[in-house]
Structure 1
Amino acid sequence: MATLLRARIAELSLAIETQKQILRDLEKSRSDARRDLNATLDPMARLPVEISSDIFARCLPDSPRPHSGQAPMLFLNVCHLWRDIATSASSLWTSIYCESSTDTATLDNWLRRARSLPLHISLPGDTRPDVAIVVNQHAHHLEVLELGFQHLKDLVSPCPSLAKLTVINTVEPPTHRQCMDILHSAPALVECEFISTHWQDALPVEDTYTPEPFTHPVLRHLRLSAGRKAKSTNAAYMLEYLTLPALETLSVSDLDIMDDDFASFLTRSSPPLRSLHLGGLGDDDLVESFRLVPTVTDLSLKFTDTEIDPFLVLQDSVFASDENLLPNLRNLRIRTSFRLHIDHELVISALAARRASPHAQLESFMFLSLHPKPRPDITVALRQLAEESGIHIHIGPTTERNYI
């Protein structure tokens, strides 16, 4: 009796498994039919791949992230057709903003889909080190890169195509050695920005890095800043190492090197500088340095010391009469972070004389300070000067508020 029951159970179990397999086959057939129907009705199925890929590309956010609910990852979950289109469209995978939760497998797959196209990668400071290592494996395709200073040590491969670099201090103070290394490894770099409120002291750097000038032949824009902060301690120390013959824009939030060192940098670089922004100015006389960059059209100076005369460029008659002092200057901006006595008569006479000079091209003058509004007679004189000379004059506490 027991034997018969066991045989019966086995027979029923086999029948059940057979029916389950039939059900699975039916479900698969239904799924295939739905896919075929979707493909028949889906406009994407009737478009050339080039057009559907372009449509997908136009759906990308400004900073694509490895998120299943956002393009391009979203396309992978719609249907087989969309997945095939998305994975074959290399242009969808050339840009990525890595989040703290980004895993190496996802990132590697993402970048491999870009194939040999130039990559734009943002690697925040809170990203895991192993993610930075994956980026390093694709360094030869990097074109635009933003990362935290702590990830520089993981970027050891040459970056022959890197054109734009932004490095932000988020955890630890950077060293100039790290920054020089990345400049060495990126010979095509055109635009570079190092953002840090504090750099490691210059003295320890000298002990580990021979201060021999390094020439970067194509770098055109360099910014050494503190982000939203006013100053960046030791930011300008790097200039003692660099020679930049192609430099067009230089912005330093804290010019904490001697004027002789700055003049040496300009002398050996002899750059076609157009825009110069210097902050944290001390008591050094920069007029001689300004003579070394006659191509400058935009000059911005920020003073933080109450004992410093912010009108050093306007002093005496040199500003107006010396044809070698900023002959192409069009826009002059001066900012102070302290209250001071302003010799408005000096400002008026210097601007008038500069405008009257045959070699001058001054178009705008902006002075930002916490100083109270000028006297009515000064305001009238400045307005008259602006009207007669064509110079746009702005004097006030902010860029939005102009007393003139």
Structure 2
Amino acid sequence: MSIAELEARIDTISADIVRQKEVLQNLQRRKSVAQRDLNAIRDPVARLPLEISSEIFIECLPSHPSPDARHAPLLFLTVCNKWADIALATSQLWASINLDDQRSGPPSLLETWLKRAGSRALSISVPHKITGEISAVIGRQAERLRDLKIYHDDYDISLLSKAGFPFLETLTMSGLDTDQFSCNAVGTTNILRACPNLVECTFDGVFSADNYDEEILVFPRVRSLNFGK
């Protein structure tokens, strides 16, 4: 057999492999759809009133919900169409998010997550370097924030200092692990000024590198002010 014939044979086999992969992918999609339909028929949760099924889903939430498809609430979207409908109709499932690492998805995922919370107050935790895109999303939701936790050893607080947080009650700024990070005094003062209803404020592993003389800020609702490390 000549070189040309062998090359043609390899090309034919390669084309057959591609076609078989496409057939397999199509079968896998059809199986997934059929499995979701079967789950919906068998599932007793799907036959419960929405109020009850929503409460069950809420009880399944981890203490710090993150955008991980292996855990609630994103996991609910993959079981069957009925479970997805219940999850999307339960705004409380999406009122809290912990972006536990920088691979937690694009900023658009955070935006979608928070929109699903409807008009509920929000709790956001960012235990890693905050990007400009994430900061922008947080800024757009500033008026709905009730709890904000920011952890990093190299955080530019000015990213958020221009936002207003009229309903923020709990603010935590902390260095990662045992590391301290320098805090811009002007930016910190600005963000505190934007939080008139603070009840609890924590600075952990944070110090100011500036000698900044500013007027006294008054927070009449503060019940807890903590300084760690």
TM tier, smaller: 0.7 to 0.9
In structure 1, which of residues 167, 171, 180 is the aligned counterpart of residue 173 of structure 2? Answer: 167
The 1:43–1:213 alpha-carbon spacing in structure 2 relative to 1, beyond 3 Å, is same
Q: Partner amino acid for 2:67?
A: P
- Distance in 2, Cα, partners of 1:112 & 1:194: 29
Q: Partner amino acid for 1:42?
A: D
1:96 maps to 97
Say whether residues 1:200 and 2:197 are aligned partners.
no
Deviations 1:278-307 (A, max 9, x none): xxxxxxxxxxxxxxxxxxxxxxxxxxxxxx
> Residue 101 of structure 1 contacts residue 127 of structure 1 at CA under 8 Å; is this kept in 2?
no
Say whether residues 1:221 and 2:218 are aligned partners.
no
- Distance in 2, Cα, partners of 1:127 & 1:69: 24
The 1:46–1:151 alpha-carbon spacing in structure 2 relative to 1, beyond 3 Å, is farther
How many residues get paired?
194
2:187 maps to 178
- Distance in 1, Cα, partners of 2:36 & 2:151: 45
TM-score (norm 1): 0.45
- Distance in 2, Cα, partners of 1:198 & 1:85: 45
- Aligned partner of residue 198 in structure 1, secondary structure: strand
> Residue 129 of structure 1 contacts residue 151 of structure 1 at CA under 8 Å; is this kept in 2?
no
The 1:59–1:31 alpha-carbon spacing in structure 2 relative to 1, beyond 3 Å, is closer
- Aligned partner of residue 173 in structure 1, secondary structure: strand
> Displacement, 1:153?
1.8
How large is the Cα RMSD of the aligned pairs? 2.3
Deviations 1:242-296 (A, max 9, x none): xxxxxxxxxxxxxxxxxxxxxxxxxxxxxxxxxxxxxxxxxxxxxxxxxxxxxxx
2:140 maps to 137
The 1:138–1:43 alpha-carbon spacing in structure 2 relative to 1, beyond 3 Å, is same
Deviations 1:184-243 (A, max 9, x none): 1111110001123532142xx23xxxx3222222112111222xxxxxxxxxxxxxxxxx
Percent identical pairs in the alignment equals 37
1:375 maps to none
Structure of larger gyration radius: 1
> Displacement, 1:175?
2.6
The 1:197–1:137 alpha-carbon spacing in structure 2 relative to 1, beyond 3 Å, is closer
In structure 2, which of residues 141, 145, 149 is the aligned counterpart of residue 146 of structure 1? Answer: 149
1:120 maps to 123
2:17 maps to none
Alignment of 1:67-86 (within 5 A): 67-86=68-87
TM-score (norm 2): 0.76
> Displacement, 1:136?
1.5
Q: Partner amino acid for 1:154?
A: L
- Distance in 2, Cα, partners of 1:59 & 1:220: 31
The 1:123–1:32 alpha-carbon spacing in structure 2 relative to 1, beyond 3 Å, is closer
Unaligned runs of at least 5 residues, structure 1: 1-23, 227-404
Unaligned runs of at least 5 residues, structure 2: 1-25
The answer to which structure, 1 or 2, has the higher relative contact order (CA under 8 A, 6+ apart) is 2
> Residue 87 of structure 1 contacts residue 113 of structure 1 at CA under 8 Å; is this kept in 2?
yes
- Aligned partner of residue 223 in structure 1, secondary structure: strand
- Distance in 1, Cα, partners of 2:32 & 2:70: 23
2:58 maps to 57
